[in-house]
Structure 1
């Protein structure tokens, strides 16, 4: 075709997105606070600011923002390895645990492969699977709002490459017990990567969920996924990590976006691990408030599952869900509503939590005792 012919061609064809992208459901973030009187309880962020040591580390590193970060995150990986008793070769980092999860699915799944997970669970799971060309397989939660591991095992096919287990589950807060999870692992093919997503593990009571490190040491197809976004208060810096075999971890580093974890995030994460006692004290306060809120809500007549995250889950649909969402909005309280399923409320400071309790007392299914 001559240049003259190219210039005269009608401009009818334009670049188009892949069908897998245009068909993706949009990830819906928690709504942001826009005023001093707004209680931002929609995103499960830490109510507390970053640890002072993390803030100091960021301030010290800020003067070198003109330089690229360490792409291999060697210092951070070595610090995580010491924290958990593994080797740095078994650690892969990324921009939040969701970034690492994208590396996992990209690294393990070809088009048409399957990713099995409970539903409802973390909303990014089906999005990341479809983006990689894999098929998301949703398995409904059991009657106790937890993972139905028998049904998940039955959903496995010869195309299954990854199984995602969120414990404690987001948004319901229900953990998977060690005994049940080990029995599940014994029933699953060893060539399937079983990802134990523990974004909220720091908030879980001892013994409520699995000893994931013990399971990892026994079952090499286990991958542990964690984040600094929640209990450590670094949601705005985006840093998470996986513990997996050295071979898989190396593959995750290969699939990672170059320099995705900033130098500031790496330094802040290291400083946060070094300030573990202070972080644990903050977590203890959240757990105390979680218990207080749950007890009062149950006394009001709300049926709750015992949450092990920094949030509470109220099952609601139809008119009740619409009423609650309208009431929270009118009261300036931002919560996370899941259409047809319920409302997730982040545990914050006592004053904000009391606002939640007063509102829910008005809409309780039974008169408050």
Structure 2
């Protein structure tokens, strides 16, 4: 029986564990007698269009172990949006590239928009009776994939956010009369990352946590903050980048606004309305690819999800991806089950109402949900890290 060739590519933004997903797929494929060549496309779907493939069978066991602790995206990424029109010449070009390498399955590792790309590929192949499977592998720090208990990358980003916010809180105690510290997290549409700081105990707990699911107007915010500062002579505010603000916004290829920098607007508002000094910390890129504060749970599940993705393909499934379901909290256990790409692509999972409370804290149910995810891995033993890089 002919062995099956597979192609994997990374898409969207980095996470601390997306390279662990790659390692998990390669490890699983190397163990399978049904798999032939294992290719990776450089720079996402653009690499597919260019036929820019690298054979991953040459990665050693040590290489794959290093990948699990390597930040960024080993193969590179792309945010290119494929046309809605499945008769576009782009799909014909993709088909030709894949058939020339005798690819039997394409694995797309990404989030909401990446699953739109995967779904379009699957619909195009199905429409034209092309015998190529498409399987998704989940990834997004925003934790907003519909049908998932949580997403790969979220736990590590949350652990980074909680740890750095605690350090910022401690810094704020350095003076008798402190500033208003404003911490901005990623999270264009949802507040999962900002909300993670609710795990911090007093005196490190934020005074205000602002998330898109609980809008707040400027007047309400200023009144709350003024009262807090008068009482404590300092304040700590954590906000999602997507919290309502009026900065000029640029759109990405999928039509999403770039909201980064919201904290500077709130800082200017505080200075103008209250005459108080503030300091802004935009966590930004480090929070999504910090290997030092990666969650061991996140890494383990990234490896397992890729193993599940490969098994779905070998079982004959098409147009699906492994979703995470939580079986129990104590002991913490999850399982992976297939969901369709169309049910995930382009959709957003908001924080449920039962987790929302007010602008100061969230429910105990949310804290119970988050705690098991934040088990830190031990990475450095000699003061510096060792990572993988693709020879280009």
Which TM-score band (shorter chain)? under 0.3
**TM-score under structure 2 normalisation?**
0.27
**TM-score under structure 1 normalisation?**
0.28
